[in-house]
Amino acid sequence: MLILLPNYLAFAALACDAGFIADNFSAADYERLAPISVTPNPRINQTIDGTGTESYLIASNSLVTNGSLSPGSTNIYQISQSDNVPLFQFTQDYATKETTRTVSYTFNNKFTNQSQALDKLSLSIYDIDTNLYGYDSQRNAYFRWFDQVTITGITSTGKISPILQSKGSGITDSAPYRQKVTASSIACSGLDENCKVSVSFDKPVIGVEVVYGNNTDLNYTNNGVANNDPSAQIVKIKFDNYCYQPQPRLTYTKALSTSRKTNTDQFTVQIKDNADNSVVTSGITSVTTTGSNNTVTTGTGTTGTFKVNPTKTYTLTEAVSGSTNLADYTALYACRKSDGTSVNSLDPKNLNLTYGDNWTCTITNGRPNYVFSGTVFNDNGKIVNPNKDDVSDKYLNNSLYFNGKYDSGTESGIPFTTGHTITLNKCVSDSGTFSAQTVNIGNNGTYSFSLTPAQVGSYTRLCVTQNEPSNYEYTVDTTSNLRQIDITNSKYNYPNNDFGDVVQENAALVLIKSQYVHDCSLNNLTTIGVNYDGSASSAYSTKPISDIIPGQCIAYRIEAINRGNVSLADIIIKDILQSKNDSNNSLVTSTLVNPTPIGENSGTPSFATNSVSVGKNGTVTTNTFSLGTTTATRREAIRFNTKYGNTISN
């Protein structure tokens, strides 16, 4: 079956530029702008539904008369229907042939309340006809009316004329548009193509003006009176099409890159309006996920496609559902445009879309890896020129030295030496199967392990061990070489598992051995003073002994000092008494003699059961003791007395 469309419906579909869509007034829009009324009631700031999918256009229309209308006669501007096509009916009875009336249409954006340009706007005016009343005795023609219209576009910079698209065969080729024949009537009704003119604008317009009047070159009569007072006349205005960029569209969806921690973990995607931090709900579909493992059930966890206010900024976020703890997941945001290209420099907390945008944004959650990291550092407190015997303020008043903490602003990592590694493993007393990992430290002393949740499994702690190479220069530990890392729920980053070391010259423990030479009559070791820089014959001194006579006695004092900022434990002092022909090629043998050895701090340090006995040669040995970090606890000392043998016997 062949169906022939009327010419007024047979126009080609409007071809909008890329990124634009075609739209037009709906019947409801005509009625909002020009409702049926006894007198014209053109309205302003009316929301335009359109016939497409947009809704951000605001239109206004108004009437201005230049001249006068016939009192009490026809005055109509309202919606009308011709052949079921909505349009504006413009019926006037002008009092003079010079009188015109202008109907103005303006377009605004509802978001900004600023002018909204419409591209390729086209409109048609129907019923541009004439009515010849007759001739006078001089054969002068008189018309009841002779319609003519002028159409003007308003741009952001001024007024423009339209491009003529089509017209009735008898219509003039340029404005003012009117019938060419002036010797007879041209009668039309409805949407007769013979009395129609269609125009379009090749530049975006923010308004349109239609000026309606009569051909002022002719004569007019009203009720047979030759008074140049035209009768009531009518034209009809129809907007055909226009293009504009669609309101931005956004679709926000959820994806999972790994399995859920538990299958009861679900997620609710949310878009928040940054103006008031409210959650956008209008136009949103099923935002909460269902599914298990890494599957999001189709149709869940998505906002669907909805329109975005281009004057606002939004935050892409999510909320928990079910048993979810968001700390158990990482979140990666990505957006793609309708052409498939990625949105660069995406800020999910400051999302702003503009007209024509159509984005699909995805938040992808995944279980984060566990990261265990640290630094092997030189815990020297930035001391230069180290000295193993220095107990000056250079050490004692340096809170950063040997404190077991990585003071990164002052101290630095220890460079890599071949064989210097860190091992991550289960702790010794823990059962189960764990795949130990070993890594080299970096050139800056750092190390790091990254494990998946599956690799960590159900372990609640792991241990890292520093493995020092045999040629390692930093042989003194300021921290233990074994560190336990306690794993807590929903925590995945475990930094600062640091190991502190120093060179031997920077060891915290300093031993100072001093001596006092006497004639063996000493019976109280505590009565002798301490003067390291004095004479060994008058006090405990560190000065060398000279001119000692075999058979004299030497009392020794050994002081242990902790010059660091970490308490030291399990210290044992051992001092081997010289023996004739020992490794030092000693000429005589010394023996321990009374008074009994003592520890200066109320008997502390005490002496071990295997310490040399009075009258014997051997090793003076203390029990274990500790040194603190305060002035009162960082020093301990022992005293003991020996007899210096002769060269003949021991």
Q: How far apart are CA 348 and CA 333, in angstroms?
A: 7
In 3D space, the residue among 301, 365, 299, 274 whose CA is nearest the CA of residue 327 turns out to be 365
In 3D space, the residue among 288, 241, 295, 240 whose CA is nearest the CA of residue 267 turns out to be 288
The answer, yes or no, to whether residue 370 has pLDDT greater than 50, is yes
Q: What was the pLDDT predicted at 31?
A: 98
Q: How far apart are CA 292 and CA 289, in angstroms?
A: 10
Q: What was the pLDDT predicted at 308?
A: 93
In this structure, what token pair is assigned to residue 182? 């002036």
Q: How far is CA 151 from CA 3, 33, 197, 212, 285, in A?
A: 34, 19, 10, 9, 45
Q: How far apart are CA 16 and CA 119, in angstroms?
A: 8
pLDDT in tens, 505-514: 999 999 999 9
Amino acid occupying residue 545 = I
pLDDT in tens, 209-232: 999 999 999 999 987 777 899 999
| CATH topology (fold) of 370-506 | Immunoglobulin-like (2.60.40)
| Mean pLDDT, residues 512-539 taken together | 96
Q: What was the pLDDT predicted at 4?
A: 37
Q: What was the pLDDT predicted at 246?
A: 94
Q: How far apart are CA 171 and CA 129, in angstroms?
A: 9
Rg (CA), the chain: 51
Q: How far apart are CA 187 and CA 194, in angstroms?
A: 9
How far, rounded to the nearest angstrom, does the alpha carbon of residue 358 sit from its chain's CA centroid?
A: 21
| Mean pLDDT, residues 202-207 taken together | 98
pLDDT in tens, 169-181: 999 999 999 999 9
Considering the chain, what percentage of its residues have pLDDT values greater than 70?
97
| Mean pLDDT, residues 250-255 taken together | 97
- Phi-psi domain of 538 (left: phi exceeds 0; alpha: psi -120 through 50; beta: other): alpha
Q: How far apart are CA 429 and CA 61, in angstroms?
A: 86
Q: How far apart are CA 26 and CA 120, in angstroms?
A: 18
| CATH topology (fold) of 509-644 | Immunoglobulin-like (2.60.40)
The answer, yes or no, to whether residue 469 has pLDDT greater than 90, is yes
pLDDT in tens, 268-305: 999 999 999 999 998 888 899 999 999 999 999 999 99
pLDDT in tens, 378-425: 999 999 999 999 999 999 999 999 999 999 999 999 999 999 999 999
In this structure, what token pair is assigned to residue 493? 């980053």
Q: How far apart are CA 131 and CA 135, in angstroms?
A: 12
The answer to whether 562 touches 538, Cβ cutoff 8 Å, is no
Q: How far apart are CA 7 and CA 175, in angstroms?
A: 23
Confidence of residue 646 (pLDDT cuts 50, 70, 90): low
Q: What was the pLDDT predicted at 2?
A: 37
Q: What was the pLDDT predicted at 5?
A: 40
| Mean pLDDT, residues 312-331 taken together | 95
Q: Are strands 207-214 and 177-178 parallel, antiparallel or unpaired?
A: unpaired
Torsion of CA 107, 112, 114, 118, to 10 degrees: -40
The answer, yes or no, to whether residue 41 has pLDDT greater than 60, is yes
In this structure, what token pair is assigned to residue 292? 């298990």
* Local structure of 447: helix, strand or coil: strand
The answer, yes or no, to whether residue 647 has pLDDT greater than 60, is no
